[in-house]
Structure 1
Amino acid sequence: MAERVENVTSLPPCKRHITTHDAAGKSVYYGVSPPQQYALVGDGGLARSYSVALVPAKLASDEDLKGYLSADGITSWTQSSIVTPAGANLLVVDLAPGASTHMHRTVSIDFSICTVGEIDHELDSGQVVRLRPGDHIVQRGTMHRWINVSLTEPARFVAVTLSCEPFDVAGEQLKEVHLLH
């Protein structure tokens, strides 16, 4: 398991606000929200901001909250997995100046939005797209990596990952791959 810390760059931590219902059925903010825990990834980190085990999510009796606030388990706030099989994750990824992730692929569709800085999204074909705040990628199970193009400022993107059914890519079944070189 990767080491966990509350900050990996000089960017301020994201504040997480979770809503629920009180006994009278009124919408309220849930009072407990643990600090984000980043799993160290090179010169940056990945924090799971929220997770549900299934889509559609089961919110009755705060089932999702109980799973998220547990000390462990597939949807726990302490986990750093990118994809929850059959579920959904909200992730925050911070990259130190000049940092990049390793080339990887997950069995998922990901919606990633640049929120701070400029980030290159590079595919294994060599194609690159530069993202600025508000720009986003719909990542469809392809091999990719993220690169903070600034050598002086940190960068951040936020991603929602949804597991997908594996499918055939060039004669092979889509599977999770991490190239750690």
Structure 2
Amino acid sequence: MSAPSPTNDRVVITTHKPDGTSVFQSDRSVAPFSPFGAGKSSFSVLDTRASVPVNNLEAAKEFSETLPRTPSGGVTFCVTNMAPGSSAPMHRTATIDYAVVVSGAVVLELDGGEEKTVKAGEFIVQQGVNHAWHNRTGEVCKIAFVMVSAEKIRLGSGVELEETVF
């Protein structure tokens, strides 16, 4: 297989033979999905599983042209490429998100007005908060996420916070 183009994400997936020997299941290039148009943010869903714990003998599927959405009880591994000067609106996911900024920098804004800039090589653990993303730089910001389904947040008043994805 030839090397993927620089705009694609390469994902190497392993599995097992029936006798238990480790093998490569696939080595493929995942083209970013740009649902909001050219020059906007793009997404590459690298893997999604319907439940945790995961069955490591289950064949991994392809998720081209898919927005990252984690099934209830499941997990998603994905990449977001935020275009320079772009933003993602305020939203909440029903997940705990483990993220690493791979390149560039992003501003994470919370609904209370607080903001933090997170740069390449830095990490985020996001626990179902209402948030927005802003790339206020002149370069693409690449963020890798592992999104794990989480229980709904129940406030002391008994109100449950709902997912508000865009």
What TM bracket, shorter-length normalisation? 0.7 to 0.9
1:23–1:83: structure 2 CA closer, same or farther, 3 Å change rule? Answer: closer
Distance between the aligned counterparts of 1:59 and 1:77, measured in 2?
Answer: 21
**1:16 aligned partner:** 11
1:105-131 CA-partner distances (Å, limit 9, x unpaired): 011111111001011111111111111
- Give 1:102 shift: 1.1
1:31–1:108: structure 2 CA closer, same or farther, 3 Å change rule? Answer: closer
**1:3 aligned partner:** none
Where structure 1 has 5 or more consecutive residues not aligned to the other structure, the ranges are 1-9, 70-75
1:67-82 alignment to 2 at 5 Å? 68-69=61-62, 76-82=63-69
TM-score (norm 1): 0.78
Distance between the aligned counterparts of 2:142 and 2:68, measured in 1?
Answer: 18
Note if 1:143 corresponds to 2:130: yes
Higher strand share: 2
Higher helix share: 1
1:1-181 alignment to 2 at 5 Å? 12-31=7-26, 33=28, 35-41=30-36, 43-60=40-57, 63-65=58-60, 68-69=61-62, 76-150=63-137, 152-169=138-155, 171=157, 172-178=159-165
Secondary structure of the 1:129 match is strand
Distance between the aligned counterparts of 2:27 and 2:65, measured in 1?
Answer: 15
Identity of counterpart residues, as a percentage?
A: 28
Secondary structure of the 1:134 match is coil
The 8 Å contact of residues 36 and 48 in structure 1, kept in 2 or not, is answered as: no
TM-score (norm 2): 0.84
1:60-104 CA-partner distances (Å, limit 9, x unpaired): 3xx242xx24xxxxxx45532432211000010001111111110
The 8 Å contact of residues 14 and 36 in structure 1, kept in 2 or not, is answered as: yes
Distance between the aligned counterparts of 2:148 and 2:25, measured in 1?
Answer: 24
Where structure 2 has 5 or more consecutive residues not aligned to the other structure, the ranges are none
Aligned residue pairs, count: 159
